[in-house]
Amino acid sequence: MWRYVVRRLVQAVPVLIGLTLAVFLVMRVIPGDAATVMLQENPTVQHRAELRKQLGLDRSLPQQYLLWVGGLVTGDLGTSFWTNGPVSQEIRRTAPVTIELALLASTIAVVVAVPIGIVSAVKQDSIWDYLGRSLSIGALSVPSFWLGTLAIVLPAIWFNWAPPVVYRPIWEAPLHNLGQFWIPALVIGVSTSGTLMRMTRSSLLEVLRQDYVRTARAKGLPGRLVVSRHMLRNAMIPVITLFGALIGALLTGAVITETIFNLPGFGSLTIDAITKRDYPQIQANVLMFGVVYVLVNLCIDLSYAVLDPRIRYA
Amino acid sequence: MPEAAAVLAGPHSEPAAPLARVLRNVLRFVRRKPFGAFGGAIIALLIVVAAASPIIARYDPNISARGGRLKAPSPAHWAGTDNIGRDLFSRLVYGSRVSLQVGAIGGGVGITIGLFFGLISGYAGGLTDDAMQRLLDIMLAFPGLVLALALVAMLGASLRNVIIAVSVGGIPTTARVVRSVVLSAKQQDYVTAARVLGASPRRIVLRHILPNTVAPVIVLATIAFGGAIIAEASLSFLGLGIPPPAPSWGAMLSGPSRRFMTQAPWMAAGPGIAITAVIFGVNIFGDALRDVLDPRLRTV
């Protein structure tokens, strides 16, 4: 198995190099740079050319790229144009918010989606199936920022209640923190659950007619055990695969809900960096996202072997 | 079995008029999948409203009506008026055109590019396949919303550019799915037979392999349609959507309507319900289509 892991990690290297090139180029073709934005905010500061020189923007593109990648190799992600501090510091500050949000949201998504998906598949075309599907597809169809805004406005009107505005880490003030996180997590979790539920349903439906399921039933195993021990195990493989693809959706959800709920997370850091043309910060953020994406998907592939003993990695 | 019988009887039975045949298929779909047909009806309604906007709308969507600002829904203004006094019902009606374009063109372009990618990658194999797969990996590892934001910032905010930006999202998934279909179709005897008969790769891909991808591509298309509309709304929320005064549901939902949320909740209610209904319809329609089109699921 370790050989497989190493091979996958080696395969990830060209992908990550490509990602550095992609984000570098995409950012440079956007009109306006950090110097322009800085001068807009504070026109008296300095001469534009001087500012560009200070930020290193006067160098040629290949030079700028090589400088950045050279830094990466030595573990230096770069220095922010705006804070003048290492971008890794900003990532470390904001990552806990988004990680907590993503973990809570995925827990909610799984807890909602898997049971509904099971009931929907086992009682296919019954009223429960239609109800469950309507609910989850309905949740998937509501734009998350509308749901988020409603979740702030409605309790404020009806109960005169609003979630806490100031962020405090969970290890400092757990109750305050959870009071602030549960609504945004619910918003992201509910919209993610729709896709997961559909996948659970359709992959269970495929497993339903397999011989081993019939065997399990024939030997008199109670229906509940057939579903939980025999069917779910196999049906979960596509669901978990989908989960890997949903990491992107979780981040997108985070970008929007962090903005609405005023959470200082990785998503709002990224959007902020794009607006300010803080190249080093955007580059580092996209690269970090890519690394997480690659690693999570590797873990998912490895989990197949645990779920299905027929799968072996040589 | 009735389907097989129908297929067998096909060429010998009386040649039905194409319209009658389509109608018969639609009726069968409605009977077998009433839930999915309901979704189809929502899509049909969207198309009708978009086509007949000037007839349905009661005011000019971009000109302030005389009724006043922030008026609640009334017989004169069915969905109320917005913060500059424009009739929201008319804006919703015209907004269907924008959403239909974003969904159909944005989703369609992404699916088409992904389809080409998948066909070439899957059929060519070897180094071409490897290179294309790594390229797709890069696209998947790039956060989609960030890419869309960057694209709009790069090209400038306009309906066309927003459509381009949201179309990118559908490419990698489609390419992956199509490639896997191609890989399994390539092993089939009829493909080998075509090759032995000397068919060109182009002919094999277009005539023998492409038809296999129809079912998954239709399903992916319904997902991409909804995805594009949500992406447009998200871009609007982040301030890089279709610029005003164009009546886009995304912009109506995220712009001033958020500021007037407590004062005039109807400003966001209309577009919110419209987006939700369309995406709901597209998704249940897609689910039903998959059940009908995917032969593996047909027996289940």
Predicted local confidence at residue A45, as pLDDT: 61
**Does the pLDDT value for residue A44 go beyond 70?**
no
Q: What is the pTM of this model?
A: 0.84
Which two tokens mark A50? 């001087």
Separation CA A230–CA A109 (nearest Å): 23
> At residue A248, does pLDDT exceed 60?
yes
Instruction: Examine the pLDDT at B11 and tell me if it is beyond 70.
Output: no
Closest C-alpha among A99, A22, A15 to residue B133: A15
Task: Identify all chain A residues contacting B277, using CB atoms and an 8 Å cutoff.
Answer: 141
Phi and psi, residue A46, nearest 5°: -155, 175
pLDDT cut 90: percent of chain A above it: 10
At B94 the pLDDT is 92
Q: Quick check: A206 and B147 CB within 8 A?
A: no
Q: Do B144 and A252 touch (CB under 8 A)?
A: yes
Distance from A172 to chain B by nearest Cα, in Å? 31
A252 min Cα distance to partner chain B (Å): 6
* Residue tagged 């598949």 (tokens): A121
Taking contacts as CB-CB distances below 8 angstroms, the residues of chain B near A138 are 276, 280
Nearest to B229 by CA among B181, B143, B152, B170: B170
Q: Are the Cβ atoms of B276 and A138 closer than 8 angstroms?
A: yes
Residues of B in contact with A155 (CB under 8 A): none
pLDDT in tens, A277-307: 888 999 999 999 889 888 888 888 888 777 7
In the chain, the amino acid numbered A241 is T
* DSSP SS3 for A79: strand
Residue A43: band (very low, low, confident or very high) from pLDDT cuts 50, 70, 90: low
- pLDDT reported for residue A46: 64
Helix (H/G/I), strand (E/B), else coil: A104: helix
Average pLDDT over residues B127-136: 90
For residue B81, which phi and psi values (nearest 5 degrees)?
Answer: -120, 160
User: Mean pLDDT throughout B190-201?
Assistant: 89
- Would you place residue B275 in the very low, low, confident or very high pLDDT band (cuts 50, 70, 90)? very high
Q: Report the pLDDT value the prediction gives residue B102, as an integer from 0 to 100.
A: 93
Strand spans (E) along A67-118: none
pLDDT at A263: 87
Tokens standing for residue A294: 């690659």
Residues of B in contact with A251 (CB under 8 A): 143, 145
Residue pair A289/A301 in contact (Cβ under 8 Å)? The answer is no
Percent of chain A with pLDDT over 70: 98
Helical segments of chain B, H only: 2-9, 18-32, 34-51, 53-56, 88-101, 107-124, 126-141, 144-155, 159-167, 171-186, 189-196, 201-203, 214-237, 249-254, 256-259, 266-293, 295-298
Are B230 and A143 contacting, i.e. CB atoms less than 8 angstroms apart? yes
CA distance B204 to B191: 7
A131-138 mean pLDDT: 86
Whether the upstream peptide bond of residue B54 has omega within 30° of 0, thus cis, is no
Do the chains contact at B142 and A251, CB–CB below 8 Å?
no
Task: Indicate the residue of B146, B283, B299 with minimum beta-carbon distance to A274.
Answer: B146
B12 pLDDT band, cuts 50/70/90, is very low
Provide CB contacts within 8 A for A288, sequence distance 6+.
A91, A266
Residue B300 has pLDDT above 60, yes or no: no
Is B263 or A116 the better-scoring residue by pLDDT? A116
Is pLDDT of B299 > 80?
no
**Confidence (pLDDT) at B296:** 54
Query: In the predicted model, what is the mean pLDDT of residues B66-94?
Result: 81
CB-nearest partner of A286 from B35, B142, B253: B142
Chain A residues touching residue B230 (CB < 8 angstroms): 143
Instruction: Kindly report which listed range (A193-202, B38-47, B94-103, B287-296) carries the lowest average pLDDT score.
Output: B287-296
What integer best gives the mean pLDDT of chain B? 83
Q: Do B283 and A289 touch (CB under 8 A)?
A: no
Interchain contact, A286 vs B272, CB within 8 Å = no
Do B142 and A23 count as a contact with CB atoms less than 8 A apart?
yes
Tell me what pLDDT residue A281 has: 92
CB spacing of A145 vs B254 below 8 angstroms? yes
Mean pLDDT across A226-245: 79
Q: Do A145 and B253 touch (CB under 8 A)?
A: yes
Q: Residue A43 carries which DSSP code?
A: T
Distance from CA of B139 to the nearest CA of A (A): 8
Q: Which residue of A22, A29, A143 is in closest CB contact with B142?
A: A22
Is residue B74 pLDDT above 60, yes or no? yes
pLDDT at B42: 94
List the helix and strand counts (H, then E) for chain A.
13, 0
Return the pLDDT at B113: 95
Mean model confidence pLDDT for chain A = 84
Residue B105: band (very low, low, confident or very high) from pLDDT cuts 50, 70, 90: very high
Among A134-143, B101-110, B164-173, B251-260, the range with the most confident prediction by mean pLDDT is: B101-110
**Token pair for residue B192?**
């080998």
B-interface mutation test, from A137, A203, A258, most B Cβ less than 10 A away: A137
User: Residue B10: pLDDT above 60?
Assistant: no
Residues of A in contact with B238 (CB under 8 A): 255-256, 259, 271
Query: Which pLDDT belongs to residue B216?
Result: 80
pLDDT higher than 90, residue B106 = yes
In this structure, are residues A97 and A167 in contact, taking their beta carbons and an 8 Å threshold? yes
pLDDT of residue A195 exceeding 50, the answer is yes
Which residues fall within 8 angstroms of residue A11, CB to CB, at 6 or more apart?
Answer: none
Q: Cβ separation of B262 and A23 shorter than 8 Å?
A: no
State phi, psi for B76 to the nearest 5 degrees: -75, -40
Q: Which residues of A touch B138 (CB under 8 A)?
A: 15, 18-19, 22
Distance (Å) from the C-alpha of residue B229 to the closest C-alpha of chain A?
9
Looking at residue A108, what is its pLDDT?
92
Token pair belonging to A57: 């923007």
Q: Would you state the pLDDT for residue B109?
A: 94
Residues of A in contact with B265 (CB under 8 A): 153
Helix (H, G, I), strand (E, B) or coil at B87: strand
Which pLDDT score is estimated for A227?
Answer: 81
Which residues of chain B lie closer than 8 angstroms to A270, CB-CB? 143, 146
Under an 8 A CB cutoff, do A206 and B134 touch?
A: no
Percentage with pLDDT > 70 across chain B: 91
